[in-house]
Amino acid sequence: MRGKVRRGLARIAGRVITFFARAVTAVQPVWAGIDPDQDRQRVYYANHASHGDFILIWAVLPPRLQRRTRPVAGADYWQKGPLRRFVGSEVFDALLIARQAGAGSGAAVGRGAAHAGATAAPPSAILSAIPSDVVDAMPPDPPSTMPPPMPSDAPSMTPPELPAELPGAMRTDGPSETAIASAPDRPPATASVASSDASSAIAPDGQSAMPPAVPPDGPPAMPAEGPVGQMAAALGAGASLIIFPEGTRNQTDARLLPFKSGLYHLARRCPQIDLVPVWIENLNRVLPKGAVVPVPLMCKVSFGAPLHLAEAEDKAAFLGRARDALLALAPQPEGRA
């Protein structure tokens, strides 16, 4: 009974939020590369400049897709206080992931932080720091690539930070159990994550932010697993995801920050899943950093053609290609003075 009321409230709150977002931004979707009527499972990866980014993507998706599209977000932000918890997990059904570097999952998160420039960027509301090492996916139908979801007796892989009442865990469709259980496929993936990250040109691994000595071949499976497993499970359960591969909100004059490697690992793990670049235009002006009141300006959300990892494509090449595909959706800068 209470659950029903809450669900009803969540639906209404979702309507109110999207109505408000539309009133402020008159957001216009541009379906440049995908057909919105086609009901496919996708990972939408977008430029990230504002806390409202995922709301705008969510708002333009047709209702059918909307219901199963989950933004990947930081648990530390969305679990603070009952309101955020309600909005994050029940209205948007966000996939909440712990990202405070901690004893266990610190490896994954810490590495993300190191990539962010070792300056320990303040956590964004959206799960930005995570995707780098976290993204991992499991399309439900192509069984070839994905290991079968889990032996159910898998050891608990829940990262220590994830509170027991992680909202996801209460959901009836129960992605988080899957998340935990899918961990066994992890070790190899983790190894590859670790090793490729070690060679990453973006940021040397093993900065102070993380426990440095994660041996490439023998990382404790747990650390990197938590978030990755969660995302994989969410995809495995049929959800689509919204991620921000820049890893943090872009506050610079550059149009797009370098990508973290998470997108690559995702593409490698599930070559079948559609990675759809999404350019969000103008929202950074609507709600710049530190602003509380959004200013009404017109926004556009452009969806490009889906991407997949090519055969024998290495990380740098793939991330470059993905980034270019996203930038290609951005308006040419000569428009304004």
Query: Total binding residues for other proteins by CB under 8 A?
Result: 16
**334 scored as a contact of other proteins (CB under 8 A):** yes
**1 scored as a contact of other proteins (CB under 8 A):** no
Nearer to other proteins, 316 or 330 (CB): 330
Least spacing, CB of residue 297 vs other proteins, in Å: 5
**288 scored as a contact of other proteins (CB under 8 A):** yes
Longest dimension (CA), the chain: 61
Contact residue for other proteins among 5, 83, 213, 337 (CB under 8 A): 337
Least spacing, CB of residue 30 vs other proteins, in Å: 10
Nearer to other proteins, 170 or 298 (CB): 298
Contact residue for other proteins among 296, 305, 310, 317 (CB under 8 A): 296
Least spacing, CB of residue 229 vs other proteins, in Å: 38
Least spacing, CB of residue 281 vs other proteins, in Å: 10
Applying CB under 8 A, which part among 58-66, 76-84, 295-303, 315-323 lies near other proteins?
Answer: 295-303
**291 scored as a contact of other proteins (CB under 8 A):** yes
Applying CB under 8 A, which part among 5-13, 60-68, 208-216, 287-295 lies near other proteins?
Answer: 287-295
Amino acid at 336: R
Least spacing, CB of residue 31 vs other proteins, in Å: 13
Least spacing, CB of residue 329 vs other proteins, in Å: 17
**26 scored as a contact of other proteins (CB under 8 A):** yes
Cα gap 94→100, rounded to integer Å:
17
Residue 121: exposed, middle, or buried by beta-carbon count in 10 A (0-12, 13-18, 19+)? Answer: middle
**254 scored as a contact of other proteins (CB under 8 A):** no
Nearer to other proteins, 201 or 337 (CB): 337
Least spacing, CB of residue 25 vs other proteins, in Å: 8
- Of the candidates 237, 241, 131, 170, the one whose C-alpha atom is nearest the C-alpha of residue 2 is 170
Least spacing, CB of residue 39 vs other proteins, in Å: 25
Contact residue for other proteins among 100, 145, 195, 282 (CB under 8 A): 282
**119 scored as a contact of other proteins (CB under 8 A):** no
Applying CB under 8 A, which part among 50-58, 87-95, 221-229, 291-299 lies near other proteins?
Answer: 291-299
Q: How far is CA 117 from CA 81, 231, 316, in A?
A: 29, 24, 18
The contact set with other proteins (CB under 8 A) reads: 26, 28, 282, 285, 288-289, 291, 293, 295-298, 334-337
